[in-house]
Amino acid sequence: MPSPDAVYRARVTQYEAVADAADERSRWHSRARLVVVTIAVAALVVLVRSPLASSAALLGFSVIVFAWLVVRHDRIERRRDAALAMVSLNRHALARRARSWHDLPAPWQPAVPDDHPFAADLDIFGHASLVQVIGPVRTPTGRRSLAEWLLHGGASPLEAIHDRQAAVRELVPALDFRQQLSALARLLPEATGSGGDHELPAAVHWAEARNGLGGRGWVSVMAVVLGVATVTGAIGAYIGVVTGSWWLLTGLLGWVLRWWVHEPLEHAVGGASGEHGLRPWAAVIGHVHAARFASPLLAAARADIDAAPAALRQLEQLVALSDVRHTAWLFVPLHTLTSWDLHVWWLIERWRQRHGADVRRWLEAVGRIDAAGGLAALAFDQPQWTFPLVDPTTGVIEGADVGHPLLADAVRVPNDVQLGPPGRFLLITGSNMSGKSTLLRAIGLNVVLAHAGGPTCTTAFRVPRLTLHTSMRVSDSLELGLSLFMASLVRLQQIVHAARIATADRRVCFLLDEVLQGTNSAERQIAVRTVVDHLLGCEAIGAVTTHDLELARDAGFTAHADSFHLQETLAGSGPTISMTFDYRLRPGPAQAGNALQLLRMLGLAE
């Protein structure tokens, strides 16, 4: 089985060859079009000077060939653009694998509340974040779904988590399907995944609006009557079986009727014109519609869009019929004879009545598949990762070879960890730069991925449904008038409150990193013991890091702790001394810190 890097490099080469060939054909067609235009101009000049049948035939033939070349040229350029999009996708995949953040597209950023329990601490969004490691998710509904799974996945019913995992598993080998979906979605407007309706095409809101025919059903009947009368009268007058011009009066009545209902008519026809915003979606929907799925989530999403391709084609045709109004020389006689606009209005409103409530559902169904495809790309990129067991019967988090998902394979150092059971917590001590915060984030990110339905950066991972809370990047706030210590207390109060209201089937998991900075060590130790006692009393599970060796040796604090430490290794002596870290967990508390040694290495201590 070739490595993901080998697969992506081969695809870059493959699609670069396709793009180069299409580019060469595009240049040939450009030159051919120029030659044909030159011939057509020459034929026109000859035809003007001396009207010859041969010149006219050559001119006509040149016009036909030019039109054919334009169509062909457009297809070739679209094929080239699609190939270049695939090249870009596979290069970005290689950058994801290498964690080469600056070679990746700018990350999308949904609106996340400031008080979200873990998003900022765990780098879910932003530069060098989890969403940049996850494969491309380009539809606004896909980004909304993925953000919901990442931020609130633990709140989902167990069946929903299992359905997401099954969908991701099914899409892992479907590389062509996933990349084609992303390539087609590149034509959609850029979206942040904020969840706002402003990211959806305007036609969605028009489709969901109140039907404009309400109470006006008689208008369509009148339009038919007037149209039949006018056309019959006009034909009769033309062949001489009808005398007088009374049919012009019925045609005028058609204009009066149009003026009478012009507001709802213009709203319907104008809103339907927003169908142009759905056309890029139509290609994406068609791609998904052509696939067949076995997993419940994907199969249900595919069933939701079953009628979408035909309905969107029908709407496009209705908009084309309504666009006749923009050609005055054609529209005026056509509406006079047939009450054209009224018939088109009725057809558009009937379409809205049949399908209007489904449009949003179609886009959301595609989004769920797009989101699952992003997580599947992560599983494809990292074949050594494993899908976790989300087990509602366990009270512990157990992980073998737990690594940080945002680190490249070459530098990632995994560790075996266990958090829980209720009444116990993981205590990690160690000196500065030893990897305590990184390990906490590794645990938290893998819990997030497990609840989202994705793979975890482990060789084995078992986790219950949890409410995850972290306290890592706490800062003071001038706006709120909070000192660093008070801001830390507020964050911890939120975690304790969540633990108090948690249920047995969804306990709180807390990850506390060097908490309660900003006060003296004696009071901090008392406060930390008090907070942890509260959390354990609520049957929460979690981990705490500290480099406070006195706290780590406190028998009252460590009575319920599973104590491990991370350490550094010193080499050399004097000015040539060096410090290295292996980031491996070892049993028991740390025995010494490294702050003074770091000062000496930086020349800040005697």
Interval 208-222 mean pLDDT = 80
pLDDT of residue 482: 67
Closest by Cα among 440, 394, 424, 438 to 562: 424
Q: Give me the residue label for tokens 């915003």.
A: 277
* Residues 466, 551 within the same domain: yes
Q: Cβ-count burial of 602 within 10 angstroms (0-12 exposed, 13-18 middle, 19+ buried)?
A: exposed
Interval 110-124 mean pLDDT = 92
Query: Can you give the CATH number for the domain in which 168 is found?
Result: 1.10.1420
pLDDT of residue 477: 62
* Residues 22, 56 within the same domain: yes
CA distance 268 to 29: 41
Domain boundary among 75, 98, 121: 98
* Residues 334, 414 within the same domain: no
Number of domains in the chain: 3
The answer as to whether 222 is a domain residue is: no
Say what percent of the chain tops pLDDT 90: 57
Judged against a pLDDT cut of 70, whether residue 595 lies above it is answered with no
pLDDT of residue 276: 82
The answer as to whether 125 is a domain residue is: no
pLDDT in tens, 133-182: 999 999 999 999 999 999 999 999 999 999 999 999 999 999 999 999 99
Interval 307-312 mean pLDDT = 95
* Residues 363, 407 within the same domain: no
Beta strands in 425-584 (DSSP E): 425-430, 460-463, 466-471, 507-513, 541-546, 561-566, 568-571, 578-581
* Residues 555, 585 within the same domain: yes
Stretch among 8-12, 128-132, 254-258, 508-512 having the lowest mean pLDDT: 254-258
Closest by Cα among 371, 300, 360 to 142: 371
* Range with top average pLDDT, 129-138, 233-242, 559-568: 129-138
Say what percent of the chain tops pLDDT 70: 92
Structure tokens at 460: 């084995």
**Predicted confidence band at 579 (pLDDT cuts at 50, 70, 90)?**
low
Judged against a pLDDT cut of 80, whether residue 578 lies above it is answered with no
Domain boundary among 381, 411, 433: 381
Q: What is the dihedral of CA 418, 421, 422, 428, to 10 degrees?
A: -30
Judged against a pLDDT cut of 80, whether residue 576 lies above it is answered with no
* Residues 360, 396 within the same domain: no
C-alpha distance across the termini of the chain, in Å: 57
Residue 551, amino acid: L
Partners of 444 in the beta sheet?
A: none
The answer as to whether 606 is a domain residue is: no
Structure tokens at 541: 């599970």
In the chain, how long is the greatest CA-to-CA distance?
A: 118
3-state SS class at 571: strand
Whole-number average pLDDT of the chain: 89
Judged against a pLDDT cut of 60, whether residue 603 lies above it is answered with no
Judged against a pLDDT cut of 80, whether residue 521 lies above it is answered with no
* Residues 90, 15 within the same domain: yes
pLDDT of residue 196: 64
**Predicted confidence band at 466 (pLDDT cuts at 50, 70, 90)?**
very high
Higher confidence at residue 571 or residue 538? 538
pLDDT of residue 596: 46
Residue 356 carries which DSSP code? Answer: G
Interval 373-401 mean pLDDT = 96
pLDDT in tens, 187-206: 888 766 665 667 888 888 88
Domain boundary among 49, 79, 98: 98
CA distance 452 to 161: 7
CA distance 558 to 250: 94
Query: Can you give the CATH number for the domain in which 450 is found?
Result: 3.40.50.300
Judged against a pLDDT cut of 50, whether residue 460 lies above it is answered with yes
Partners of 513 in the beta sheet?
A: 545
pTM here? 0.90
From its phi and psi, is residue 516 left (phi > 0), alpha (psi between -120 and 50) or beta?
left
* Residues 338, 441 within the same domain: no
The answer as to whether 308 is a domain residue is: yes
Higher confidence at residue 194 or residue 403? 403
Higher confidence at residue 522 or residue 393? 393
- How far CA 104 is from CA of 7, 36, 286, in Å, comes to 18, 43, 28
3-state SS class at 321: helix
pLDDT of residue 432: 75
Provide the residue range defining the domain that includes 366: 136-216+261-381
* Residues 342, 395 within the same domain: no
